[in-house]
Amino acid sequence: MAITVVGSIAFDTVATPFGKRERMVGGAATHFALAASFFDEVRVVGPVGDDFDEAAFALLSTRETNTDDVERVAGGTSFFWAGEYGWDLNSRETLDTQLGVFETFQPKLSAASRQADVLFLANIQPSLQRDVLEQCEQPRFVALDSMNLWIDVARDDLVDVISRVDCLILNDAELRQLTGKPSLVAAAREALSWGPSSIVAKQGEYGAALLTAGGFFALPAYPLETVVDPTGAGDTFAGGFVGYLSHRLDQLDDEMTLRRAMAYGTALASFNVEEFGTDRVARVGAGELHERVAGLQQMTSLGPTREQEIQS
């Protein structure tokens, strides 16, 4: 089995109250791949320019991520984003965006990438997400991320693509904006009616929620004393969630499997925010990851119900 991710590969300059880092390797596809590669082979599809050097490729290839479908555009420059966070790390100010080669990106998937069992459509123009779907050869699980820009300027295309995927991953504000529903549950129910079997609502420092036809589940964010940089946390969460499911494709209708995937996504996102950029996730070990998931399980367990206590 393998996972294909299509999205941005970038350089980020980020300032937070805890410091500043210049031109870190980032982008949605990068953060997703670093997390998902814990579980399966990941094939990355996205464009880079001449400035994306061998050191950058080495980081993208962490845990043997396959970069054969990374398009090197001669004479071009890679997507660049600069932003600044205040003490409220849930919000940020964009200081600079340079699309570079990403502006004219037309995804080209190799036969191996088209045949992957799992596909993650990271935040790109909805029409391009649809093009990727039409190139792929019957993936067994497709998840999609998007943003407020596409909801504003390409909503019809976005809704069309959502109707063709298995899982929609958005933050809670985007989900309400997309559906026009005032509450998270109502918004998720509306989105489920369009075709996906599961909706994941990212909620930043408050965790994430999973909604399916069978019910509602929520996890808090893993409690941390040190939070340095939240850039890429949402894509890291998606990588953990989708990566965990990649080896459980026969269990996608099992609520407990989906909940377990939420825990792995949450744990990996917690590592992401502990340091700048990809630094922490790139060196996380399997033992650390499983320990943090076990911690989430312990924190969210209520033990036996009152009725069970009485019966015992």
Q: Which residues contact 40 (CB under 8 A, 6 or more apart)?
A: 1, 2, 3, 118, 243, 246, 247
- For 110, 173, 233, 298, the CA distances from 143, given in Å and listed in that order, are 19, 19, 17, 28
Q: How confident is the model over 40-57, as a mean pLDDT?
A: 97
> 3-state DSSP call for residue 168?
strand
What is the reported pLDDT for 311? 62
CA dihedral 40, 70, 61, 92 (to 10 degrees): -90
Q: Tell me what pLDDT residue 308 has.
A: 58
* Predicted local confidence at residue 304, as pLDDT: 73
The type of residue at 301 is S
As a whole number, mean pLDDT of residues 225-240 equals 96
Domain ranges of the chain: 2-303
Which CATH topology does 2-303 take?
A: UDP-N-acetylmuramoyl-L-alanine:D-glutamate ligase (3.40.1190)
Q: How far apart are CA 183 and CA 74, in angstroms?
A: 47
Could you list the beta-strand ranges (E) of 7-139. 10-16, 19-26, 41-48, 70-72, 79-85, 92-98, 118-121
Average pLDDT over the chain, rounded to an integer: 95
Q: Could you read off the pLDDT of 252-311 as tens digits, one per residue?
A: 999 999 999 999 999 999 999 999 999 999 999 999 999 999 999 999 988 775 665 566
How far apart (Å, rounded) are the C-alpha atoms in residues 165 and 200? 13
- The pLDDT assigned to 90 comes to 80
Q: Which residues, in sequence order, are CB contacts of 111 under 8 Å at separation 6+? A: none
Question: Residue 120 has what pLDDT?
Answer: 98
Percent of the chain whose pLDDT exceeds 90: 92
pLDDT score at 271: 98
Residue 89: band (very low, low, confident or very high) from pLDDT cuts 50, 70, 90: confident
The pLDDT, as a whole number, for residue 137 is 87
DSSP run (H or E) holding 279: helix 279-282
At 122 the pLDDT is 97
Q: What is the pLDDT of residues 153-210, one digit of tens each?
A: 999 999 999 999 999 999 999 999 999 999 999 999 999 999 999 999 999 889 999 9
Who's near 225: CB < 8 A, 6+ residues apart? none
Question: Which pLDDT value is given to residue 91?
Answer: 84
Q: For residues 24 and 10, what is the distance between their CA atoms, to the nearest angstrom?
A: 8
Greatest Cα pair distance, the chain, in angstroms, is 73
Encode pLDDT of 27-46 as tens digits: 999 999 999 999 999 999 99
User: What pLDDT was estimated at residue 170?
Assistant: 97
Q: In the predicted model, what is the mean pLDDT of residues 119-135?
A: 97
